[in-house]
């Protein structure tokens, strides 16, 4: 296998090449390592290079009947632990920590045939939507190195978009899979709540706001992966019905959100134009569309921040205890420190009130979804931010509230579906006049992940993105 072939294949095709004997897992691994060597110095996406561990994993045997036999996979440095890999969650507080065991999802990745080749960078505690930190610096967008990958799964998004890997793990507590997918022109699914296990330590991350899954190059990879790794473990109270294919020839009603859910025009006019183009495509499929909006409690952002900040307190205090370090400016960024200080003052009553707000929003959305099968909107409503544009370490003049407002410009559409737990996917349908990706977001009813994927696959067929690639990848292909 040539490097020029490797970086253009999705995971399904790579597995087929290995299964047929056209190439070996060792050859594929060598091409993955070569791609990291060539492109990551510019991207700054990889946290840990685990190629020696990957070679040992291959030596133990590759099950060629597995759906992704021999395919390299990167895990985000948050949410999916790999025994022996370092773990930092983007924080100097945790730097030097080593994972003691595989999480449940990691085991399922291995059972699906993936070869784990390392981990990707994330902002500190995954608490912002750009992948920039004092520990790692800035992870750069493969489509234009002056732009951000989004966050917090930006390292994974950059690795998939460039072709370093065809699949990378991510997690999503407010858009952290879907926003980087939109910024970097890849597919990013946040599955239904309780669809993916977070065992053994976490299964209700951020009180249900966050779930793990992956970023991919194609909807077929996303679908096959979901079928391979879905399902929670025994001993946990949450579950989802089994994945089932949608009814054939079902005529769908699709709500289209053309402004932000709480009001306000889209930041970028091209995003609205592309949304209307996506709407026309859905009508070509025979679906009924209309502009419509669920009723959303305006305290949605307060509730999410209250809940997530409380979990940051726990994360930092466990890290400080484990590493024997103080929680101070030497080890923690100022914005995260301020979130920690504020969260320490949150009462139990306020935390419960935040959960109640989320419940009311979920019930309102449930009523709305009785009228519609899907919701279509832009993933972000804006183009990717420039490097440094929303990085509080650059804007030292910002206070915490200013930083929160600035970064929230990019989460108007995504975080709603974390609150409700619905399946939600970003697909890279379009590009801007500047050549930057513009993702469209499809979201369905709780548990109807396969319907979301079915319609996303139809959009991919109508407007394929397989042969679009960033300049950094083109240059790599021309030089190998």
Distance CA 62, CA 238 (A): 32
φ, ψ for residue 248, nearest 5 deg: -65, 145
Distance of CA 270 to the CA centre of its chain: 23
Query: Which position among 78, 153, 162, 176 bears the catalytic label?
Result: 176
- Catalytic status, residue 176: yes
Query: Which position among 152, 192, 212, 426 bears the catalytic label?
Result: 152
Task: Kindly write down the DSSP assignment for every residue of 3-20, as one continuous string.
Answer: HHHHTT--HHHHHHHHHH
Strand partners, 138: 132
- Please, which residues have CB within 8 angstroms of residue 211's CB and are 6 or more apart in sequence? 171, 172, 190, 191, 193, 195, 196, 198, 205
- CA-based R_g, the chain, Å: 21
Length of the chain (residues): 480
Check if the beta carbon of residue 126 is closer than 8 Å to that of residue 173: yes
Bridge pairing between strands 137-138 and 140-141 = unpaired
Q: How many CB atoms lie within 10 A of CB 462?
A: 14
Query: Which position among 76, 121, 223, 258 bears the catalytic label?
Result: 76
Distance CA 22, CA 31 (A): 14
- Catalytic status, residue 76: yes
Distance of CA 408 to the CA centre of its chain: 17
Check if the beta carbon of residue 449 is closer than 8 Å to that of residue 442: no
Supply 366's token pair. 């449930």
Q: What amino acid positions are annotated as catalytic residues?
A: 76, 152, 176
């Amino acid at each position: 296998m040539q490097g020029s072939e490797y970086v253009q294949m999705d995971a399904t095709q790579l597995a087929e090449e290995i299964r047929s004997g056209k190439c070996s897992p060792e050859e594929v691994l060598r091409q993955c390592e070569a791609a990291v060597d060539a492109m990551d110095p510019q991207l700054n996406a990889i946290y840990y290079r685990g190629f020696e561990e990957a070679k040992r994993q291959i030596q133990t045997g590759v099950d060629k009947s597995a759906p992704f036999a021999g395919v390299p996979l990167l895990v985000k440095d948050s949410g999916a632990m790999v025994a022996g890999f370092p773990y930092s969650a983007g924080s100097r507080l945790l730097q030097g920590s080593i994972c003691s065991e595989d999480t449940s999802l990691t085991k399922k990745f291995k059972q699906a045939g993936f070869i784990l080749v390392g981990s990707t960078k994330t902002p500190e505690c995954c608490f912002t939507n750009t992948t920039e930190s004092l520990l790692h610096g800035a992870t750069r967008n493969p489509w234009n190195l002056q732009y951000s990958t989004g966050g917090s799964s930006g390292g994974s998004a950059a690795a998939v978009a460039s072709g370093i890997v065809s699949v990378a793990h991510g997690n999503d507590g407010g858009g952290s899979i879907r926003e980087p997918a939109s910024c970097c022109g890849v597919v990013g699914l946040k599955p239904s709540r309780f669809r993916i296990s977070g065992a053994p330590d976490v299964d209700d991350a951020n009180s249900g706001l966050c779930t793990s899954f992956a970023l991919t190059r194609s909807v077929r990879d996303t679908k096959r992966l979901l079928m391979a790794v879905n399902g929670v473990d025994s001993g946990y109270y949450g579950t989802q019905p089994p994945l089932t294919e949608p009814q054939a020839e079902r005529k769908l009603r699709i709500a289209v959100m053309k402004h932000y859910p709480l009001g306000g025009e889209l930041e970028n006019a091209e995003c609205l134009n592309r949304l209307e183009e996506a709407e026309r495509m859905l009508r070509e499929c025979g679906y009924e569309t209309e502009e419509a909006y669920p009723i959303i409690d305006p305290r949605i952002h307060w509730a999410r921040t209250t809940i997530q900040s409380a979990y940051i307190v726990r994360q930092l205090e466990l890290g400080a205890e484990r590493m024997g370090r103080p929680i101070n400016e030497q080890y923690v960024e100022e914005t995260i420190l301020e979130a920690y200080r504020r969260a320490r003052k949150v009462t139990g009553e306020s935390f419960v009130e935040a959960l109640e707000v989320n419940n009311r929003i979920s019930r309102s959305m449930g009523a709305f979804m009785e009228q519609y099968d899907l919701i279509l909107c832009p993933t972000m409503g804006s183009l990717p931010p420039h490097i440094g544009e929303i990085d509080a370490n650059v804007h030292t003049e910002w206070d915490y509230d200013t930083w929160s407002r600035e970064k929230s410009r990019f989460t108007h559409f995504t975080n709603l579906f974390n609150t409700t737990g619905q399946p939600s996917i970003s697909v890279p349908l379009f590009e801007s006049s500047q050549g930057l990706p513009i993702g469209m977001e499809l979201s369905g009813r709780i548990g109807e992940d396969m319907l979301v994927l079915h319609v996303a696959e139809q959009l991919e067929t109508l407007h394929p993105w397989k042969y679009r690639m960033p300049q950094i990848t083109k240059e790599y292909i021309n030089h190998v």
